[in-house]
């Protein structure tokens, strides 16, 4: 008898070789679920609510929910022009950890949700102001953009002499342009 334990079915005989890996059965790689296509923030909110309403543990469902949620980007938030849709999106981001089986807390990290929430709130504020985009950053004090009364007031009250000189030159330039 050999040192090894005798095989239950084959005794001391060698068992037949197993199938080679290329001939063995392997499951086909199944295509993952694709995210829902959406064009506006309102349709994204509706799709997400539809996906949240289905609470069945399924890999396809989780993948579709995650991919649909991750389609929400800062650029897409900036394109939105409807305050009510942004309000619904804001509510979803705030209530992300409210106990859904698979919610936005699984699709986004806390930092990503925070960045999206900040962008949604900034966009809502801009819409409330009646703007489509944020103001462009320019020089801190540009004398060319000041109205005449503000220019005169700053010449009289500003503490920095170099700025007052720049303001006086701007006033002189405006007087010369108005005479021509």
Q: How far apart are CA 117 and CA 157, in angstroms?
A: 41
Per-residue pLDDT at 1: 43
Is 122 in contact with 130 (CB distance < 8 Å)? no
**Which residues on neighbouring strands pair with residue 11, listed in sequence order?**
7
**Which residues on neighbouring strands pair with residue 86, listed in sequence order?**
none
Contacts of 54 (CB under 8 A, 6+ apart): 61
The CB density around residue 46, as the number of other CB atoms within 10 Å, is: 15
Is 65 in contact with 51 (CB distance < 8 Å)? yes
Instruction: Give percent of the chain with pLDDT exceeding 70.
Output: 83
Q: What are the CA-CA distances from residue 6 to residues 2, 9, 14, 71, 100 (Å)?
A: 8, 9, 10, 59, 54
Is 86 in contact with 80 (CB distance < 8 Å)? yes
Per-residue pLDDT at 15: 64
> Residue with structure tokens 């010449």?
155
Per-residue pLDDT at 115: 96
Average pLDDT over residues 20-43: 74
Q: How far apart are CA 133 and CA 9, in angstroms?
A: 78
Confidence of residue 129 (pLDDT cuts 50, 70, 90): very high
Q: Which residue has the higher pLDDT, 120 or 21?
A: 120
Per-residue pLDDT at 120: 96
Q: How far apart are CA 22 and CA 62, in angstroms?
A: 31
Instruction: Give percent of the chain with pLDDT exceeding 90.
Output: 47
């Amino acid at each position: 008898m050999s040192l090894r334990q005798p095989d239950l079915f084959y005794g001391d005989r060698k068992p037949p070789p197993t199938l080679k890996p290329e001939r063995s059965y392997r499951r086909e790689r199944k295509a993952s679920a694709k995210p829902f296509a959406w064009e506006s923030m309102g349709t994204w909110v509706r799709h997400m609510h539809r996906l949240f309403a289905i609470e069945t543990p399924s890999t396809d469902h989780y993948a579709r929910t995650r991919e649909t949620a991750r389609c929400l980007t800062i650029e897409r938030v900036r394109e939105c022009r409807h305050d009510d849709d942004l309000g619904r999106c804001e509510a979803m981001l705030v209530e992300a950890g409210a106990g859904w089986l698979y919610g936005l807390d699984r699709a986004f990290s806390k930092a990503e949700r925070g960045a999206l929430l900040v962008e949604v709130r900034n966009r809502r504020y801009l819409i409330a102001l009646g703007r489509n985009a944020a103001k462009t950053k320019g020089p801190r004090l540009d004398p060319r953009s000041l109205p005449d009364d503000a220019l005169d007031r700053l010449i009289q009250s500003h503490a920095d002499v170099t700025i007052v000189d720049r303001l006086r030159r701007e006033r002189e330039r405006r007087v010369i342009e108005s005479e021509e």
